Structures are given as structure tokens and as C-alpha cells.
């Protein structure tokens, strides 16, 4: 049939002598795939039909560290990639290579860690960040940014917690969707990663995770699903680990059943770097593009460290794919499907029509402004006894700035996401700038960061800091981790601060009762040894290159804190919900806590967290009133509207993140006491009030019934909880769902 149509088409050409596009005889026809007016589908089909089996097979593996295979004969460009998610990272090679000083410096804007941006609960901001990063990727000649990371923070010890958006699937979904929209809006390909359940670095290449269907669907999948269904994500990256017995890169349940069949994913699946272990099984499962490839891949895989960690690859090379085709292990149509999906994404992103030649301005003032806003909005004021903060320039004459995160900007955690910014703002510089000329700002190291500055005299450094604290009006202790201590590739050994830092805080707080602790970290830390002795704690996370400005602005009240925690802070690691089910043994881990991850588990176990999910203080106050639920009864399939009024009752303009939790009171399976199903971030002037409206659709009321293998909504009572945090519920209402 296709052949016949083609012949008829050709006949029309020769008979008329003039083509439909006005081409004169003798002129070469523009192949359909080069015609930007045609749909991406049409163009991909046309191009695929022109390709030889060898050329199609050749598309399934990369040609280098960060490039897919170009095809000169047909003019198919390589997809040029770079790591994210917190900015464009050097794509020259693995982090081992790009982290060494010999690699020529490469600069892009370092945005705050994902967990910090999630703390802003600001969807528009995340979209703007995605847009800025995509613009920089284009300016650097790249087509694809390996981001966002939407894996859930299952344990505080996961080395990559900082990259993700916290413990709640709904919040992570909102953030991921916003990021993908920002990136794709610029014609850059995102890569939503790592599908699925990459929740630990410990044995990440070999660990087999047993996760029940309900937990997968309710906790670990939603952010991926939303990125696919709502944002129409063009690419998803598979994870290193195994899920329920199969490596993610060759897991048909994940890549075909779930991603493509259930969610309707039309994009391409790219493997994580060095995560493939077979040819036929990987292709049949739904993998499209194996990375990395070519010589770079071979050299990397040959390194003993690479092999030791469990990386593997080189399974989807042209030769191996052709051999699998010849032996009948793989069908040509399956290879065609993968090649078509890659082409389709390239056409959707406009890579044939608007190549990203690079050479543009990398960091614009707007990009810097987004980074600064993100750092500021993302920091969370955890404690502020006696309103020590903001520091009052009329009363404070001297400030001692102490600690290992003072003269170094801790912009991000370690590994493939670490971006090198041109001129990061250190906390010391930011504090000095915000303090102004009238306040004396002095500095002491106090304690060296574990693994840094080996020659420091520990006793002397601490004594100097204590003396400085004692003679200053206020002491600011900037503590936390470094990108060497909290990183991709390994988990943290404990939740404790690195060596000597607890003691430093204790000594400084004893010398000055106006001590503020500022923490740089990507996940919760143990605070029990000093939290009762310090009046104020600001959680800065990894704030990107503008970290110093944000810290200075928040401490001195130039900006008002508005961040809220996207993760529960346990008092002790033993209270965390994966405790006892992590990190597994004999290369196996059972996600025994099921859906009760984070605050869901703290609620169920009636465990008091140190700081609850959703918690964050401001310099102003907000009053919640007038909860209105649109109907006392809703039919299955219907929607409920929830209205609530928020008023700024303080004296400063500020932003509040209003959270809506739902509780299914009667259900056939145990459900959490509350689940986040809506939130709104609203900025209000003093005295100003705003009515917020939330829509609850059936998906908000549903749970995944593993017996039915599907989402179900059951009749019965639902409680609507409106809170300033998950443990500060201000208003309660409800409705019942009827059949």
C-alpha cells in the first residue's frame, strides 16, 4: 500500500513537470524529513524509510561521552548532551575527569540544588530555572540537558538527595513538570531521571530493590508520570539499579508496560551512563539509546574503577545490534521503533531546523537573577527564638562569621550535577554586603571541613572562633557538608555533621547566646547536640552561586524567608522511615516501609520529627480562615473545590506556602493520615488577604490497589486539612464521596 502511494506520488511529479512546491524540472526534491512544515511524525517516518538497517542499528548507541550518533549521509546531527540538573555541566567526560584541575575550566550558572528549589514550592521559579538552563545549554551548543532528577528522598543518607525534590511525590511532580516545561519551551531535550527508584548510591549498580506495586505507583512513579502525561517529556533516563529483579535499563515492566503503555510516553529512553548489561533484552524492554558510546565508552569501561563499581555498557553498538537482528533475537521492527523515537524527539526539539550552534551569551543578568531568587526562596528558617532574626542593623554592631562554609560557596553536592560557576558569592561576602559599612564583620574558620585544609591547628582554630564570638554581638556559624562529603557515588555514613562541627557550634553558642547556625547540606542532619542551645537555624541547602547573597539578605531582613521543608527532619536517623529497610544486604533491599515514606511514616508511627515536612518560618505572620469546601458530597468522578483565605497579619511583606492535605478516613487498605494534594505560594503585603482555591479531582482521592492493579476511588469520608506545615494544620473540613 505504501509502495503504491509512493509510485502514484512520483507519477504526479513527472506528469506535471512542476512539483507541488513549485520546483522546476531538474531541481532536487526536498526530502520530506527536511521540510520543517511537516509534522515531526511524518518527518521521522520519512527519514526512517530512507535508512539502511545498519544506519538504524547505529542510532541505538552513543558516539562519545555525551553525543548520540550523527549520520552524515542523511544529515542527521548528533544529539549533544550535557549534565544538569542545577545548571550546564562540563560534558568533556565523567565527573572523575571534569573534576580534576587539568581539565580546562568551563563556566555556567550554578543554580541551587533541587532540594532547595523544592523548598521554594515555587512552580513558576522552577520553570524559569529550566528555561534559563536550557538557554545556557543552547548558548553552549548543547541539545539535551540530563535533568531533572525526580527520585524521591527515601532515606536522609542517600548521597544524591540534594539533586531531587524531596520526599513527597506530589511536590516532586509539580517541580518536575515545571522544569520540563521550562526546558522544552526552549527546544532543548530534558531527560527525566532516573527511572525508577534510584534512591541510594550504595551498590547503585547492583542493588536489587523489591518494591511493591502500590509504593511504586504512589511514591516512586508520580513525578515521572506527571512529567510524561502533563509536560509531555521528550526523554526519560533509566536508573542504574534493579527494580524487582531486573535492571532498569532492561526492565519491560518499567520501560514498556508502565512508561509507554500506561502513560503514553512517546519520547526516547536513554540509559544512565554505563547501566546496560545485554543487547536483546535491553532493546526488547524498550531502551532506545545506550550511553555513552564509541571510543570514550570503551576507554572508560576498561578502567578498573569503572568495572569495580559495576558499570557496564557497549551492548547496543551497531555490530551487536546487527548480530542480534541476524540471529533473530531482536526484531527489525523493534529497532525501527527505537530509531523512530529518537528521530521523533529530534524533530520535536527542532534539531534539524535550528541547530544549536553555540556561541551565545551563557550567563545573562536574568539567569543570575533567577539563581539568586531561587537561593533566597529556597532557604528555610527552621528556628527563630526571640526573633533574633532578622538582625537589626540599628542594634547589631559586630558580627562574627565562623565556620568551614564561610569563605567557600558550597554551591552544590558532588558528582555529575556539580556546575562550575564563574564567580560564586561566598557567605562571608554576602553577609558583609548585606551588613553594610556600619557593622563590623569578622571571620574565623573555627574548624576545617573534613578532608580540606589538612594543616589547620584544630585547637587554635576553635579557640580563635570562640574568642571572636565572645566579643561580637552576634555569631553566625556556617556549617555543613562539602561536595566531597555529600555526593553522587556514595551515601552518607550518618546524618551527623562532619568532624568537629557539632563541637564548634556548641563552643560558639556557649560564648555567644545570639548564635545563628546556617547549614549547607542536601538532606537533614542530626542537630540534637546543639539545637536547644542556639536560638536560630537557617537551612541554606546548597544554594548555587548566589548562596552568599541569599544568606546575607535573609539574615539581615533584606529578604523575608519563605522556604518550607520538602523533607521531614528526623531527630535521629533511627526515626527515618526507611530505617531497617536500608541499605539492604547481599545486593538486595526490601522497601519494607511501603508507601509510608517520610511524613506518611512519621504520622503512622506517631513519631515526633525534629522539624516536620512543610515547616518553615517567616519574619511575618499569616492567618488562615474561611475554609470552604464546595460540596459536602461528591459523586465518584467528580471534583471538589476548596477555598481558603490567608492574611498577612504581620508587619513585613512575605510569602506563605499554604498546603492542602487529604485524609481518606474510610478505605479498604491502610492510607496515610494525610497526603499532600495541593499547595499555593502567595506573596502578601502587611494586612493583605487573598482567597486561594484548590481543585481536588478523582486522582487526588485515589489510591493504587495492587489487587486490582489499578487506581481506585472508594466511597466514604475525606478530611481536608489546610496547614502551614504537615504538623501545623490550621483548618479542617471535609466531604464524602458517594457511589
**CB 311 → ligand BGC: shortest distance, Å?**
8
What contacts 6, CB < 8 A, 6 or more positions away?
A: none
The span from the CA of 51 to the CA of 73, in Å, is 10
**CB 188 → ligand BGC: shortest distance, Å?**
15
User: Any idea which residue has 504538623 for its cell?
Assistant: 727
Based on CB atoms, which residue is closest to ligand BGC, 272 or 546? 272
Write down the H helix ranges in 471-578: 501-511, 547-555
Based on CB atoms, which residue is closest to ligand BGC, 64 or 446? 64
**CB 728 → ligand BGC: shortest distance, Å?**
35
**CB 23 → ligand BGC: shortest distance, Å?**
44
Based on CB atoms, which residue is closest to ligand BGC, 416 or 482? 416
Q: Are 138 and 188 in contact (CB under 8 A)?
A: yes
C-alpha cell at 477: 556559624
User: Any idea which residue has 519563605 for its cell?
Assistant: 562
- Torsion angle, CA of 223/224/225/228, rounded to 10 degrees? 120
Q: Are 377 and 566 in contact (CB under 8 A)?
A: no
Sign of CA dihedral 179, 185, 188, 189: positive
3-state secondary structure of 338: helix
Sign of CA dihedral 201, 206, 212, 213: positive
Q: For residue 272, indicate whether it is catalytic.
A: yes
3-state SS of 287-310 is CCEECCCHHHHHHHHHCHHHHHHC
The span from the CA of 708 to the CA of 693, in Å, is 33
Based on CB atoms, which residue is closest to ligand BGC, 163 or 553? 163
3-state secondary structure of 136: helix
C-alpha cell at 228: 510524561
User: For residue 613, which of 644, 576, 666 has the smallest C-alpha distance?
Assistant: 576
The span from the CA of 587 to the CA of 445, in Å, is 41
Order of all β-strands in the sheet with 728-738: 633-635, 728-738, 716-725, 654-664, 675-684
**CB 164 → ligand BGC: shortest distance, Å?**
11
Based on CB atoms, which residue is closest to ligand BGC, 122 or 488? 488
> Which residues make beta-bridge pairs with 680?
658
Based on CB atoms, which residue is closest to ligand BGC, 55 or 201? 201
**CB 405 → ligand BGC: shortest distance, Å?**
25
**CB 99 → ligand BGC: shortest distance, Å?**
12
The span from the CA of 173 to the CA of 168, in Å, is 9
What contacts 533, CB < 8 A, 6 or more positions away?
A: 506, 509, 510, 515
> Which residues make beta-bridge pairs with 675?
662
C-alpha cell at 80: 549533544
The span from the CA of 266 to the CA of 234, in Å, is 7
**CB 414 → ligand BGC: shortest distance, Å?**
12
Maximum separation of any 2 CA atoms in the chain, in Å: 95
- Site residues (CB under 6 A) for ligand BGC? 83, 146, 193, 272-273, 416
Based on CB atoms, which residue is closest to ligand BGC, 291 or 351? 291
**CB 273 → ligand BGC: shortest distance, Å?**
4
Q: Which residues of 585-599 are buried (b: 16+ CB within 10 A; e: fewer)?
A: eeeebebebbbbbbb
* Burial grade of 294 (CB within 10 A; 0-12, 13-18, 19 or more): middle
**CB 627 → ligand BGC: shortest distance, Å?**
42
User: For residue 224, which of 234, 241, 236 has the smallest C-alpha distance?
Assistant: 236
Based on CB atoms, which residue is closest to ligand BGC, 201 or 553? 201
User: For residue 542, which of 175, 146, 111 has the smallest C-alpha distance?
Assistant: 111
Based on CB atoms, which residue is closest to ligand BGC, 413 or 723? 413
What contacts 281, CB < 8 A, 6 or more positions away?
A: 250
Q: DSSP assignment, residue 668?
A: S
Based on CB atoms, which residue is closest to ligand BGC, 7 or 96? 96
Based on CB atoms, which residue is closest to ligand BGC, 197 or 538? 197
C-alpha cell at 478: 556556617
What contacts 241, CB < 8 A, 6 or more positions away?
A: 197, 198, 200, 204, 205, 206, 207, 208, 209, 247, 248
Active-site option among 272, 491, 502, 553: 272
**CB 512 → ligand BGC: shortest distance, Å?**
42
Based on CB atoms, which residue is closest to ligand BGC, 272 or 318? 272
**CB 84 → ligand BGC: shortest distance, Å?**
8
The span from the CA of 704 to the CA of 717, in Å, is 18
Q: DSSP assignment, residue 188?
A: -
| Residues designated as active site | 272
Amino acid at each position: 500500500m505504501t509502495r503504491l502511494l509512493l509510485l502514484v506520488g512520483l507519477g504526479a511529479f513527472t506528469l506535471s513537470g512542476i512539483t507541488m512546491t513549485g520546483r522546476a524540472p531538474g531541481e532536487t526534491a526536498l526530502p520530506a524529513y527536511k521540510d520543517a512544515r511537516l509534522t515531526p511524525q511524518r518527518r521521522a517516518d520519512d527519514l526512517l524509510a530512507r535508512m539502511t538497517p545498519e544506519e538504524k542499528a547505529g542510532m541505538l548507541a552513543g558516539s562519545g561521552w555525551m553525543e548520540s550518533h550523527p549520520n552524515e549521509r542523511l544529515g542527521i546531527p548528533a544529539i549533544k548532551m550535557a549534565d544538569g540538573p542545577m545548571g550546564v555541566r562540563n560534558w568533556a567526560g565523567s565527573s572523575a575527569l571534569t573534576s580534576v584541575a587539568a581539565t580546562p575550566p568551563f563556566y555556567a550558572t550554578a543554580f541551587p540544588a533541587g532540594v532547595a528549589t523544592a523548598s521554594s514550592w515555587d512552580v513558576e521559579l522552577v520553570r524559569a530555572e529550566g528555561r534559563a538552563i536550557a538557554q545556557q545549554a543552547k548558548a553552549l551548543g548543547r541539545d539535551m540537558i540530563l535533568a531533572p532528577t525526580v527520585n524521591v528522598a527515601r532515606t536522609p543518607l542517600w548521597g544524591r538527595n540534594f539533586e531531587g525534590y524531596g520526599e513527597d511525590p506530589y511536590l516532586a511532580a509539580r517541580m518536575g513538570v515545571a522544569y520540563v516545561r521550562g526546558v522544552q519551551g526552549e527546544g532543548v531535550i530534558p531527560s527525566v531521571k532516573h527511572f525508577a527508584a534510584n534512591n541510594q548510591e550504595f551498590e547503585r549498580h547492583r542493588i536489587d530493590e523489591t518494591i511493591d506495586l502500590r509504593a511504586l505507583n504512589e511514591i516512586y512513579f508520580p513525578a515521572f508520570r506527571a512529567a510524561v502525561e502533563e509536560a509531555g517529556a521528550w526523554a526519560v533516563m533509566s536508573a542504574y539499579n534493579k527494580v524487582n529483579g531486573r535492571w532498569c535499563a532492561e526492565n519491560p515492566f518499567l520501560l514498556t508496560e508502565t512508561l509507554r503503555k500506561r502513560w503514553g510516553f512517546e519520547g526516547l529512553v536513554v540509559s544512565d551512563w554505563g547501566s546496560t548489561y545485554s543487547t536483546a533484552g535491553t532493546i526488547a524492554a524498550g531502551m532506545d539509546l545506550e550511553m555513552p558510546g564509541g571510543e570514550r565508552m570503551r576507554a572508560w569501561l576498561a578502567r578498573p574503577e569503572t568495572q569495580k563499581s559495576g558499570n557496564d555498557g557497549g551492548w547496543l553498538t551497531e555490530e551487536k545490534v546487527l548480530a542480534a537482528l541476524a540471529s533473530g533475537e531482536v526484531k527489525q521492527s523493534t529497532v525501527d521503533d527505537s530509531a523512530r523515537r529518537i528521530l521523533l524527539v529530534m524533530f520535536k526539539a527542532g534539531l534539524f531546523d535550528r541547530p544549536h550552534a553555540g556561541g551565545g551569551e551563557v550567563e545573562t543578568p536574568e539567569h543570575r537573577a533567577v539563581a539568586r531568587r531561587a537561593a533566597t526562596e529556597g532557604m528555610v528558617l527552621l528556628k527563630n527564638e526571640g526573633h533574633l532574626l532578622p538582625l537589626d542593623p540599628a542594634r547589631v554592631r559586630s558580627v562574627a562569621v565562623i565556620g568551614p562554609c564561610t569563605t567557600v560557596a558550597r554551591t552544590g553536592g558532588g558528582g555529575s550535577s556539580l556546575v562550575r560557576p564563574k564567580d560564586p558569592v561566598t557567605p562571608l561576602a554576602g553577609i558583609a554586603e548585606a551588613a553594610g559599612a556600619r557593622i563590623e564583620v569578622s571571620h574565623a574558620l573555627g574548624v576545617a571541613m573534613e578532608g580540606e585544609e589538612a594543616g589547620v591547628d584544630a585547637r587554635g582554630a576553635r579557640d580563635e572562633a570562640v574568642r571572636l564570638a565572645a566579643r561580637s554581638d552576634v555569631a553566625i556559624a556556617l556549617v555543613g557538608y562539602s561536595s566531597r562529603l555529600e555526593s553522587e557515588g556514595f551515601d552518607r555514613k550518618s546524618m551527623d555533621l562532619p568532624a568537629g562541627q557539632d563541637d564548634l557550634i556548641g563552643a560558639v553558642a556557649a560564648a555567644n547566646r545570639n548564635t545563628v547556625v546556617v547549614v549547607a547540606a542536601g538532606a537533614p542532619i542530626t542537630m540534637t547536640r546543639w539545637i536547644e542551645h542556639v536560638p536560630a537555624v537557617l537551612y541554606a541547602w546548597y544554594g548555587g552561586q548566589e548562596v552568599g547573597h541569599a544568606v546575607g539578605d535573609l539574615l539581615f531582613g533584606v529578604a523575608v524567608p519563605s522556604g518550607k521543608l520538602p523533607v521531614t527532619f528526623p531527630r535521629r536517623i533511627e526515626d527515618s522511615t526507611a530505617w531497617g529497610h536500608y541499605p539492604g544486604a547481599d545486593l538486595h533491599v526490601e522497601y519494607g516501609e511501603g508507601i509510608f515514606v517520610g511524613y506518611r511514616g512519621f504520622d503512622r508511627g506517631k513519631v515526633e520529627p525534629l522539624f516536620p515536612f512543610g515547616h518553615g518560618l517567616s519574619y511575618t505572620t499569616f492567618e488562615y480562615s474561611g475554609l470552604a469546601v464546595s460540596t459536602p458530597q461528591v459523586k465518584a468522578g467528580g471534583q471538589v473545590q476548596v477555598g481558603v483565605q490567608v492574611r498577612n497579619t504581620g508587619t513585613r511583606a512575605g510569602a506563605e506556602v499554604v498546603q492542602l492535605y487529604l485524609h481518606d478516613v474510610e478505605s479498604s487498605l491502610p492510607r496515610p493520615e494525610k497526603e499532600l494534594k495541593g499547595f499555593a505560594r502567595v506573596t502578601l503585603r502587611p494586612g493583605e488577604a487573598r482567597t486561594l482555591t484548590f481543585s481536588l479531582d478523582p486522582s487526588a482521592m485515589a489510591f493504587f490497589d495492587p489487587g486490582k492493579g489499578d487506581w481506585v476511588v472508594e466511597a466514604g469520608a475525606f478530611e481536608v486539612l489546610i496547614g502551614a506545615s504537615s504538623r501545623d494544620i490550621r483548618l479542617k473540613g471535609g466531604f464524602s464521596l458517594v457511589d
